[in-house]
Structure 1
Amino acid sequence: MPPGRWERCFWSWGLLLWLGVESTGDVLPTPQTKCTDFQNANLLRGTSLRVQFLLFTTSDPSCGQLVEESSDIQNTGFNATLETKLVIHGFRALGTKPSWIDKFIGTLLQATDANVVAVDWVYGSTGVYFSAVENVIKLGLEISRFLSKLLALGVSQSSVHIIGVSLGAHVAGMVGHFYKGQLGRITGLDPAGPEYTRASLEERLDAGDALFVEAIHTDTDNLGIRIPVGHVDYFVNGGQDQPGCPIFIHAGYSYLICDHMRAVHLYISALENSCPLMAFPCTSYKAFLAGHCLDCFNPFLLSCPRIGLVEQGGVKIEPLPKEVKVYLQTTSKAPYCVHHNLVEFYLQEPRNRDTCITVTFLGSNVTSSVKITIPRQHRHGKGVIAHPNPQCQISQVKLKFQASHRVWKKDRMTIIGKFCTAPLPVNDNSGYPSRAGTMNDSPSKACGIQSSV
């Protein structure tokens, strides 16, 4: 992949990865165990591949045990009967330890009893992005050699789960490719886009690299890849412009990295399991918001995928489909999850102009709104509204008819129709509509509505 194609991207990637990771201090060793922290590199040291494999276990989740030789593995807390999870960071422009790594590992070990191996390749990922890309194959080979030592100790290929962040997602794909797709699982957290969007399957992460491959996309219009690369691809908030992230370039570092790193923070939140991050298959984000994708029957039958450690993302169908785009909305801060609801309005009589109605859900001092548009000469309009509270905890539903600016006061009219709402996924056998209301009444009343504007 000639670097000339990406000369225009170099500035943003180079500046970007001041990718802000402040190095934390070394973990204090216990009397029994020597603890090793991530390395720090700088631009003058070049991009030699000095890889460290740091083992973390539930017995001491803050202590990274350096593993170099097979004998070292046997002298650590490594347990071959448990799952093994490798965490691979991405490009590090300033050669610093990822600021998210400690919390990520700690949360992972709280969620499951496993061997967690952090792959420290700060030296090989520092400086120029294109040099880091050139190190991907070398790093993939080195990780594969390390894995072969674990397999020799009795670890099964299907129990290996690799979690790769940004460029690290393609490293994970390379390792999976070397093992002919027989590793258990790969999770790509906003896989890197530059140099990979047009790459071959052998060069980037794809669904053939593990028994189950998933990817969480949060920055497809900048640093993340915009194409599906797994069995299930989560396009969060459409895959770009995450809530709470700066939208203006003068925000500097936050503008460059916030969307890209949101995938990491979403995954941490999912590991904490405070609420489900469930997604729905659809042809596009626009179609999802318009209420055209209300369940997961096609292609997942009755199981909707969700972010986290649940087996195969909760997808139970076999064989697994590939490159399925699924969509979900989130809030702007942890725990990020929302409950998606279908909202519909049925006019009693069609009108000669478009009818726009804003639906607002209120609950726990949080307000969410969506606009329903009913085309002229049609009676029905729908959409999807997201709120942090489940529908049973919504205290009030408001409907507001948006009159055309051409309508004079003397033309005041009465809009008569029916409003209905149901939580997603909508089951055709669930007795839908589940809740209904009027513009001024509780939404638990009958599915009838009358209002004058």
Structure 2
Amino acid sequence: MLRLSFFFGLICLVKTDTDETCPSFTKLSFHSAVVGTGLNVKLMLYTRKNLTCAQVINSTIFGNLNVTKKTTFIVHGFRPTGSPPVWMEDLVQSLLSVEDMNVIVVDWNRGATTVIYNHASSKTRKVAEVLKKFIDQVLVEGASLDNIYMIGVSLGAHISGFVGKMYNGQLGRITGLDPAGPLFNGRPPEDRLDPGDAQFVDVIHSDIDALGYKEPLGNIDFYPNGGLDQPGCPKTILGGLQYFKCDHQRSVYLYLSSLRENCAITAYPCDSYRDYRNGKCVNCGMPQKESCPLLGYYADNWKEYLKQKEPPMTKAFFDTAEEKPFCIYHYFVDIITWNKNIRRGSITIRLTDRAGNTTESKINHEPATFQKYHQVSLLARFNQDLDKVAAISLVFSTGSTIGPKYKLRILRMKLRSLAHPERPQLCRYDLVLMENTETVFQPILCPRLQM
């Protein structure tokens, strides 16, 4: 709650906008947030017939809405400055680019705009009731609950859950993007988003130590970077407003990345982030195994597999890069050593392709233990996926700045891609790494018996 309090203190003024030809998201000022606003829900429809110019619709006016197609609702959260969400237009356009559907922006800015968070959260059930009334009419016109998809951000995730409860969990899908934590943490299922609120509920948790909800809320709960500090976000209050909202908003931008062709973020079902980082939970996607779940829009591809679990719930972990589109690429570095004594330390690995492009991974989250003739499998994470690796470099470090320098004698090193298991695995034999000294070599194809 401390971060939430600071957030209010740094809020700046936002100007109101003039009337426009096309309906737009409600723009309010900081003055409105201080005074408070009464709830007014506006529904704005976008389709491929009106990609950039919304139609205001209601229970009697449907505009271009086609009841035979999927209808996706986007429900925002708390708006302490009154400004429109900066990501809204991008999300609308990206959804319509991947599927011909109805996209409805649920604008409840008059209600969400207040400096008192409790006032906004108290209106969430009323927003859900408005949406229930509209969906009832759409169903009368021939729509199906199976085709109703709700994307809820922060407080919007719980609003989506309340709508789902009104239909006894028969909505097609709900996606919760960092569901709000304050005033919802520890609440019973009827007072928050819950796995039973739709036929499939997926959740991205990106700020579990501040503005987001920590515990699982869906059939599959994704925890990018463990759900805590997100790479590229400010680490101190000197980052201004971004320090307070960057982690929380990252869930939205990760979802957006899933709608772009050049970024399919793979996640790994696991009991904990530590187990994932230690490479204990990356067997999905391997031969004779189920596919790995994908983050974001295509997460429901994993729905059938989840039905086989009891209960049908799982947590999935993954890491991201600092910048859009956030994708990283996983490799295993398998090392067998022949040191007489046990060595503990970290490995830094750099890959270089034939064009001279390089990418590096520091595997230093906790020391690895190297024992004679034992294989250690380290999970390496790279920002680039280099198809043709021409050179590899390794650095071994114990982390000590004083005392003797150690050697790591490698009997065999093997590099294998998790994203592309069909690629040839690369090996190197009989290496001696001097501590804190880079060793560069050209890999060779591993014998087929080792693949």
Same fold (TM over 0.5): yes
Going from structure 1 to structure 2, the CA distance change for 1:114 and 1:25 (only over 3 Å counts) comes to farther
1:43-192 → structure 2 map (5 Å cutoff) = 43=33, 45-70=35-60, 72-73=61-62, 76-127=63-114, 128-192=116-180
Matched, 1:210 2:187: no
Query: Matched residue of 2:243: which SS?
Result: helix
| Match 2:187 to one of 180, 199, 205 | 199
1:440 aligned partner, one-letter code:
V
* Equivalent residue number for residue 418 of structure 2: 424
* Equivalent residue number for residue 387 of structure 1: 382
1:419 aligned partner, one-letter code:
M
Going from structure 1 to structure 2, the CA distance change for 1:83 and 1:335 (only over 3 Å counts) comes to same
Please state how far the C-alpha of 1:147 moved relative to its aligned partner.
0.8
Going from structure 1 to structure 2, the CA distance change for 1:139 and 1:383 (only over 3 Å counts) comes to same
Query: Matched residue of 1:266: which SS?
Result: helix
Query: Matched residue of 1:375: which SS?
Result: strand
Going from structure 1 to structure 2, the CA distance change for 1:237 and 1:21 (only over 3 Å counts) comes to farther
Please state how far the C-alpha of 1:389 moved relative to its aligned partner.
2.8
**Cα distance between partner residues in 1 of 2:214 and 2:107:** 27
Please state how far the C-alpha of 1:374 moved relative to its aligned partner.
3.9
**Cα distance between partner residues in 2 of 1:244 and 1:21:** 25
Please state how far the C-alpha of 1:221 moved relative to its aligned partner.
1.3
* Equivalent residue number for residue 32 of structure 1: none
Over the matched positions of the two proteins, sequence identity in percent amounts to 32
Listed one character per residue, the Cα deviations across residues 285-338 of structure 1 (whole Å, up to 9, x for unaligned) are 11111111122389x951211123336144431516433110111111111111
Going from structure 1 to structure 2, the CA distance change for 1:155 and 1:235 (only over 3 Å counts) comes to same
Matched, 1:346 2:341: no
Query: Matched residue of 2:296: which SS?
Result: coil
**Cα distance between partner residues in 2 of 1:120 and 1:399:** 53
Q: Does the CA-based 8 Å contact 1:89-1:168 persist in structure 2?
A: yes
Structure 1, 142-151 or 307-316: larger mean CA deviation: 307-316
Going from structure 1 to structure 2, the CA distance change for 1:303 and 1:48 (only over 3 Å counts) comes to same
**Cα distance between partner residues in 1 of 2:340 and 2:213:** 44
**Cα distance between partner residues in 2 of 1:92 and 1:360:** 43
2:143 aligned partner, one-letter code:
V
Going from structure 1 to structure 2, the CA distance change for 1:255 and 1:318 (only over 3 Å counts) comes to closer
Q: Does the CA-based 8 Å contact 2:4-2:210 persist in structure 1?
A: no
TM-score, normalised relative to structure 2: 0.86
Going from structure 1 to structure 2, the CA distance change for 1:408 and 1:99 (only over 3 Å counts) comes to closer
Q: Does the CA-based 8 Å contact 2:362-2:380 persist in structure 1?
A: yes
**Cα distance between partner residues in 2 of 1:56 and 1:413:** 62
**Cα distance between partner residues in 2 of 1:17 and 1:219:** 20
**Cα distance between partner residues in 1 of 2:11 and 2:55:** 27
* Equivalent residue number for residue 440 of structure 2: 440
* Equivalent residue number for residue 329 of structure 1: 319
2:396 aligned partner, one-letter code:
F
**Cα distance between partner residues in 1 of 2:10 and 2:285:** 40
| Match 2:230 to one of 225, 242, 245 | 242
Q: Does the CA-based 8 Å contact 2:266-2:293 persist in structure 1?
A: yes
The alignment's C-alpha RMSD in Å is 2.8
1:280-295 → structure 2 map (5 Å cutoff) = 280-295=268-283
Matched, 1:279 2:272: no
1:28 aligned partner, one-letter code:
T
Q: Does the CA-based 8 Å contact 2:328-2:381 persist in structure 1?
A: yes
**Cα distance between partner residues in 1 of 2:10 and 2:200:** 31
Query: Matched residue of 1:272: which SS?
Result: coil
Listed one character per residue, the Cα deviations across residues 240-298 of structure 1 (whole Å, up to 9, x for unaligned) are 21111110111110101111111111111211222211100111111111111122389
Please state how far the C-alpha of 1:149 moved relative to its aligned partner.
1.1
2:324 aligned partner, one-letter code:
A
Please state how far the C-alpha of 1:444 moved relative to its aligned partner.
3.5
* Equivalent residue number for residue 451 of structure 1: none
Q: Does the CA-based 8 Å contact 2:335-2:410 persist in structure 1?
A: no
Q: Does the CA-based 8 Å contact 2:176-2:204 persist in structure 1?
A: yes
How many corresponding residue pairs? 426
**Cα distance between partner residues in 2 of 1:167 and 1:217:** 13
**Cα distance between partner residues in 1 of 2:363 and 2:9:** 37
Listed one character per residue, the Cα deviations across residues 167-198 of structure 1 (whole Å, up to 9, x for unaligned) are 10011111111111000000111111111120
Q: Does the CA-based 8 Å contact 2:200-2:300 persist in structure 1?
A: yes
**Cα distance between partner residues in 2 of 1:40 and 1:250:** 27
1:157 aligned partner, one-letter code:
L
Going from structure 1 to structure 2, the CA distance change for 1:160 and 1:444 (only over 3 Å counts) comes to farther
Going from structure 1 to structure 2, the CA distance change for 1:336 and 1:22 (only over 3 Å counts) comes to farther
Q: Does the CA-based 8 Å contact 2:169-2:196 persist in structure 1?
A: yes
Structure 1, 373-382 or 340-349: larger mean CA deviation: 373-382
2:195 aligned partner, one-letter code:
A
